[in-house]
């Protein structure tokens, strides 16, 4: 049984109608048909998850924190399958997936009582997409706007809902100089874990693709080549059926909470006057979240000498 030991992971104790809000695939219910059992009693654990984000998810679950042989359960890893996001046009919510495990309470001596905490770990592959509009304008157009008292506010980035939030900082606008071949500008991308769980893999790897706005090129790699760490992703931690995401580059969220990527771009095709162009970011990763439920077992076995 492979168990991930990672600090910062949220352990959610859910039962009955309890649930967790958030974006991405969230655990709505992790419950037991019996919470107080005797040795050899059979009972079931029930899991219900829902895709509350904007991307299609492929999900699987592991039952951990117990010895499978003691509980007579051997299908601890199970695929949940593909979960579709909500469709506003059709008026449907994000797809719900369920799993069930049949268990038998372990043998304990008569009079002995123990409380166990079976845990479910739900993994899912996901994408976060970002579109950041950037205003490009010439020096002459900037002077004209200033003289006319016009404001040039920076348009906010459009970020798909998921367990990672993204902020793209570019400044209020990009002014192309008269010598436009010397027009450079930075872009800072801040990725924050807001989903209540963790990214799967050593040092929390995230596949990343940054697509530059039309009329620009990267000055160097974005992210830098030294940041690629896809090989640190150990697929042995994943339930069968989940695979590593495919992405041109990768970065690490070293503390599992936040990471930043800084790029520099060069303007190679300036606007005639003023133009809004889009920078895009695509993140691919596998995320997981835990939930536990207490089961109290009372022994009934008479032990011989």
* pLDDT value at residue 243: 78
Closest by CA position to 279, among listed 293, 261, 295: 261
Interatomic CA distance for residues 214 and 275, integer angstroms: 11
Q: What is the largest CA-CA distance in the chain?
A: 98
What pLDDT is stored for residue 3 in this prediction? 32
Smallest CA-to-CA distance from 283 within 59, 55, 58, 10 is with 55
**End-to-end Cα distance, the chain:** 32
CA-CA-CA-CA torsion for 80, 82, 87, 92, nearest 10 degrees? -30
Domain range summary for the chain, segments of one domain joined by +: 11-124+289-298, 127-284
In order, the DSSP letters of 99-151 are EEEEEEPPP-BTT-EEEE--EEEEEEEEEEEEEEEEEEEEHHHHHHHHHTT--
pLDDT at 179: 63
| pLDDT < 50: residue spans in the chain | 1-10, 13-21, 226-229, 231-232, 305
Q: What is the pLDDT of residue 170?
A: 86
How confident is the model at residue 23, as a pLDDT?
84
Read off the pLDDT of residues 150-195 as tens digits, 9 standing for 90 and up: 777 678 889 999 999 999 988 778 877 666 566 788 999 999 999 9
CB 227, CB 250: distance < 8 Å: yes
Q: Are 185 and 224 in contact (CB under 8 A)?
A: no
What is residue 87's DSSP assignment? B
What pLDDT score does 248 carry? 83
Res 189: pLDDT: 95
Topology of domain 11-124+289-298 in CATH is: Immunoglobulin-like (2.60.40)
Contact 97, 80 (CB under 8 A): yes
Output the six-digit token pair for 154: 């920076």
Confidence at residue 233, expressed as pLDDT on a 0 to 100 scale: 53
Domains 11-124+289-298 and 127-284 belong to one CATH topology: yes
Specify the CATH architecture of the domain 127-284.
Sandwich (2.60)
40: left (phi over 0), alpha (psi -120 to 50) or beta: left
Look at residue 231 in the predicted model and tell me its pLDDT. Answer: 47
Per-residue model confidence as pLDDT tens digits over 259-274: 999 999 988 888 888 8
């Amino acid at each position: 049984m492979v168990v991930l030991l990672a600090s910062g992971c949220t352990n959610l104790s859910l039962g009955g109608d309890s649930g967790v809000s958030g974006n991405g695939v969230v655990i709505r219910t992790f419950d037991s048909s019996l919470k107080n059992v005797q040795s050899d009693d059979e009972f079931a654990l029930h899991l219900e998850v829902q895709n509350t984000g904007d991307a299609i998810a492929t999900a699987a679950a592991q039952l951990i924190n117990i010895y499978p042989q003691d509980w007579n359960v051997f299908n601890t890893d199970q695929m949940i399958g593909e979960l579709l996001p909500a469709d506003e046009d059709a008026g449907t919510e994000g797809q719900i997936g369920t799993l069930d495990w049949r268990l038998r309470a372990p043998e304990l001596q008569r009079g002995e009582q123990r409380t166990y905490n079976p845990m479910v770990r739900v993994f899912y592959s996901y994408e976060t997409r970002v579109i950041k509009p950037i205003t490009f304008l010439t020096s002459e157009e900037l002077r004209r706007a200033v003289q006319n008292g016009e404001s040039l506010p920076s348009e906010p980035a459009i970020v798909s809902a998921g367990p990672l939030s993204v902020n793209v900082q570019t400044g209020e606008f990009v002014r192309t100089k008269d010598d436009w071949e010397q027009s450079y500008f930075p872009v800072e991308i801040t990725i924050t874990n807001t989903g209540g769980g963790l990214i799967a893999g050593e040092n929390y790897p995230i596949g990343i693709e940054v697509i530059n706005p039309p009329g620009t090129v990267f000055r160097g790699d974005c992210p830098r080549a030294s940041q690629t760490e896809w090989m640190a992703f150990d697929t042995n931690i994943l339930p069968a059926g989940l695979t590593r995401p495919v992405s041109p580059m990768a970065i690490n969220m070293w503390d599992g909470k936040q990471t930043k990527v800084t790029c520099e771009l060069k303007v190679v095709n300036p606007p005639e006057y003023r133009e809004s162009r889009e920078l895009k970011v695509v993140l691919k990763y596998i995320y997981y979240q835990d939930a536990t439920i207490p089961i109290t077992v009372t022994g009934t076995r008479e032990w011989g000498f």
